[in-house]
Structure 1
Amino acid sequence: MTEQIEVELTGMVYGGYAIGRADGRTLFVTGGLPGERVSARITRDQVRYAFAVVEQVIVPSPQRITPRCVHFRAKACGGCQWQHLDYEAQLAYKTEIVGEQFRRIGKFTNAPILPILASPDPWFYRTHVTFQVEPVSGRLGFVAPDDRTLIPIDECHILRPELMEMRQALDSGAGIRQPGHRRLRCMVGSDGSERVSVSFRPDEADEDASANMPGGSVTFAIKDQTFRVGAGSFFQVNLLQAEHLVDLVLEHLRLSGHERVLDLYSGVGLFTAFLAKRAAQVSAIESSPGAVADARVNLARFPKVEVREGLVEVVLPRFSGRFDSAVIDPPRAGMQRKALEALVAKRPRRIAYVSCDPTTLARDARRLVDAGYTLAHVRPLDMFPQTYHIECVAGFERRAAA
């Protein structure tokens, strides 16, 4: 029999859970908010902690609002976690969570966390999405919070409307019929006129599938630059916030035009393009062949840029000499230890670290500080409204004696 439990919720943690304590256990509760008393159903039980989902709100938080999306209200879709939370409160909790990760993971007693930058529009901001494909019908949907059930989607309030139009057109055509394909990635360009989709087998990497698709790309405009992005290449989902990311990176590096700069995990060249206009030389490293191909197109007009394909920990040690500054934008797992050691060996004076996971950012921040750097600031940025995900830009400066 499934256990029901009544609990008072006291805080919010990374992952989108509200937390409370009951019967000697810490409860991680989906659908609750701090300050609430709820009745929750245990979904996974361990000795010292358990996961649960709210069944009834007994005492609601004043921060609770009515979610826009019917799928969220039905607790069916796992794409958003915080539609029931007032947007200003979302921003406040994200800032608190970043500070907590730096205390708990990074062991910083007083990390310089700056105020979070809100998204200009917390709705309809995503320019690309990966749908799951129902094996029998070929219909498209999202995965439920249980990570097993496929939920057909009739509306989505964080996707650009053009993406839902693509989904509806594909569904009306009897779905995806490629045998064995289980995912479909859809992208829409900045002006809405360019649209592309590519489907994948379960064991197929995004760039492998898109490499076989002629014309499988869209164009994104960031400030005064345009970027070709293939269907398998990474790009920030929130274009307005991507502009703010560029601003934050450039503000920290304070380039004068004479620097030799590294761009690690450089993707299709988002930061490289803006660095190239402000530095003497930019060396970019990216492991994805598809992204490297896009980057070489996007950066062809910049003679001071070189793009090398490969893993950072393998390619970076091959460079001779020192670098003045570095930009790092690794995947969610953060930097491999050998990659971080190779970066430190190049002795850049300033580092701008862009991260989509405050946990691995805090871990790597501690490693950089231990290696001779000072953490100058951490600026959270809300790239993903209505979800628990948090983007940050952390600035580091090499200590004089290091």
Structure 2
Amino acid sequence: MKEPRIEFEITGMAHGGSAIGRHEGKAIFVPYAIVGETIAARIVEDKGNFARGELIEVLTPSENRVEPPCPHFGTCGGCHWQHIRYEAQLEFKRRIVSDQLARIGGIKDAVVHPTISSPDEWRYRSHVNFHRTRDGKLGFVMIDDRTIMTINECHIIRPELVSLFEQFKDKHLKPEQKRVRLQVGSQSTETLAATNVGDETGGDETRTILGTDKVHYTIKDHTFEVSAGSFFQVNLPQAETLVNLVLERLALQGSEHVLDLYSGVGLFSAFLAPEARKVTAIESYPPAVADARLNLGKFSNIKVMQGTAEQLLTRFLQGHFDAAVIDPPRAGMKPAALDELIKCKPRKMVYVSCDPATLARDAKKLVGAGYRLVDVQPVDMFPQTYHIESVATFTR
């Protein structure tokens, strides 16, 4: 039997994409609602001290509610906020960063600047990962985070990827082709499709099945060669924004030894090198290390090292760094890596985060070790989703 219909007001937006309100004192998380709305919902999961609800009806709509353009919105798990006016998305992201820092990090007075908007609200992704459905078609993970659904269109990938997707959507993938990445370079003529692109932990072997083995991305005055399995920011204009913010926050004088942790294919190192005495770049994913050594080959003051942050900082780099750039995966830094980083005693650190919850967790430890959180600058790398990129600056 279904739970009864309940009505309540939405009072906030939660990290993870849902809106939040209270009914009879209990916090209820409801996807596809917006702060300020009065809604009717049904409880679908009661966790004791909070519950998850399903939106039945919007009784009093927000002025920030808009009509989603994608027919898959509401079932596909790729987008969460297509129903929210873009300017409101930016403000909600700023509030969420501030809230996570206060609740998880214990930093209640953090300076969190207004979110920097993306030049493109739609058609911004330069690569996208699909999964194989049971019948061998390309699909996305549904909102239940388990089921793979077939899609006919996607509004957040670049037009070149739409064309590439059209070539693949009716093909039948082999059972071993569990994942497919479609990717386009800065030049629209340079595209690739690769199967079994993992999560940069050395999982299944990546095989190119269409196009080139690598693509090239131009950020500012530097072109990066990126293999199919290597990570690169999906929103190229905002990748340049990140580079500018890192350089601005570090304000290097030319005498510093800078640590670039989780350095990928060398995005930050390429711009740190001209402004620093020395750059040490650490990356664990072998294809990305190979890309980085190629991309950074013209710089004599960069040392690229392959290995995990905790391994290399412990075994080989028990020394001093003047500054550090940290760009970890969504899970944030491993505790051992963060401990070793603190021992290196960089005077200034810029932490580039793609998850405000893990940023807040790591910020709490840094502040406890004597660092001060100067400010946080959210950057909208992922319009129409709840995902938030942030640049946090720490000094000691």
Identity of aligned residues (%): 52
Task: Give the corresponding residue for 2:58.
Answer: 57
2:216 is paired with a residue of what secondary structure? strand
> Does residue 1:248 correspond to 2:245, yes or no?
yes
Task: Give the corresponding residue for 1:22.
Answer: 23
Q: Distance in 2 between matches of 1:363 and 1:258?
A: 31
Q: 2:358 aligns with which of 357, 360, 364?
A: 360
Moved more, 210-219 or 157-166: 210-219
Over 3 Å counting, the alpha-carbon distance change for 1:300 and 1:155 in structure 2 is same
- 1:204 Cα shift? 9.7
> Does residue 1:194 correspond to 2:195, yes or no?
no
Over 3 Å counting, the alpha-carbon distance change for 1:205 and 1:162 in structure 2 is farther
Over 3 Å counting, the alpha-carbon distance change for 1:201 and 1:335 in structure 2 is closer
Letter in 2 for 1:180: E
Q: Distance in 1 between matches of 2:160 and 2:180?
A: 15
Q: Distance in 1 between matches of 2:232 and 2:203?
A: 13
Moved more, 76-85 or 5-14: 5-14
Q: 1:239 aligns with which of 205, 230, 236?
A: 236
Task: Give the corresponding residue for 2:76.
Answer: 77
Contact 2:192 2:208 (C-alpha < 8 Å) held by counterparts: no
Q: Distance in 1 between matches of 2:51 and 2:43?
A: 7
- 1:264-305 Cα distance to aligned partner (Å, 9 max, x none): 000010001001111111000001011111111111111111
- 1:347-389 Cα distance to aligned partner (Å, 9 max, x none): 1111110000111111111111111211111111111111101
Letter in 1 for 2:361: R
Contact 2:195 2:207 (C-alpha < 8 Å) held by counterparts: no
- 1:88-123 Cα distance to aligned partner (Å, 9 max, x none): 111111111111011100101201112211111111
Q: Distance in 2 between matches of 1:235 and 1:203?
A: 12
Contact 1:106 1:365 (C-alpha < 8 Å) held by counterparts: yes
1:209 is paired with a residue of what secondary structure? coil
Contact 1:379 1:394 (C-alpha < 8 Å) held by counterparts: yes
Over 3 Å counting, the alpha-carbon distance change for 1:53 and 1:256 in structure 2 is same
Contact 2:197 2:229 (C-alpha < 8 Å) held by counterparts: no
Q: Distance in 2 between matches of 1:201 and 1:364?
A: 28
Q: Which runs of 5+ in 2 are unaligned?
A: none
1:90 is paired with a residue of what secondary structure? helix
Contact 1:248 1:393 (C-alpha < 8 Å) held by counterparts: yes
Q: Pairwise mapping of residues 171-186 of structure 1 onto structure 2 (< 5 A)? A: 171-172=169-170, 174-176=171-173, 178-186=174-182
Over 3 Å counting, the alpha-carbon distance change for 1:316 and 1:205 in structure 2 is closer
Q: Pairwise mapping of residues 51-200 of structure 1 onto structure 2 (< 5 A)? A: 51-72=52-73, 75-136=74-135, 138-172=136-170, 174-176=171-173, 178-200=174-196
Q: 1:375 aligns with which of 369, 373, 376?
A: 373
Q: Distance in 1 between matches of 2:302 and 2:67?
A: 49
Over 3 Å counting, the alpha-carbon distance change for 1:31 and 1:203 in structure 2 is closer
- 1:206 Cα shift? 6.4
Contact 2:258 2:280 (C-alpha < 8 Å) held by counterparts: yes
Letter in 1 for 2:91: A
Aligned residue pairs, count: 393
Q: Distance in 2 between matches of 1:388 and 1:171?
A: 27
Moved more, 158-167 or 37-46: 37-46
Q: Which runs of 5+ in 1 are unaligned?
A: none
Moved more, 318-327 or 124-133: 318-327
Task: Give the corresponding residue for 1:265.
Answer: 262
Q: Distance in 2 between matches of 1:383 and 1:206?
A: 25
- 1:159 Cα shift? 0.6
- 1:67-98 Cα distance to aligned partner (Å, 9 max, x none): 111111xx221111111111111111111111
2:16 is paired with a residue of what secondary structure? coil
Over 3 Å counting, the alpha-carbon distance change for 1:230 and 1:119 in structure 2 is same
Task: Give the corresponding residue for 1:42.
Answer: 43
Moved over 3 A (4+): 201-208, 211-215
2:72 is paired with a residue of what secondary structure? helix
Q: Distance in 2 between matches of 1:347 and 1:58?
A: 54
TM-score (norm 2): 0.95
TM-score (norm 1): 0.93
Q: Distance in 1 between matches of 2:352 and 2:329?
A: 10
Q: Distance in 2 between matches of 1:205 and 1:111?
A: 33
- 1:6 Cα shift? 2.3
> Does residue 1:219 correspond to 2:216, yes or no?
yes
- 1:340 Cα shift? 1.2
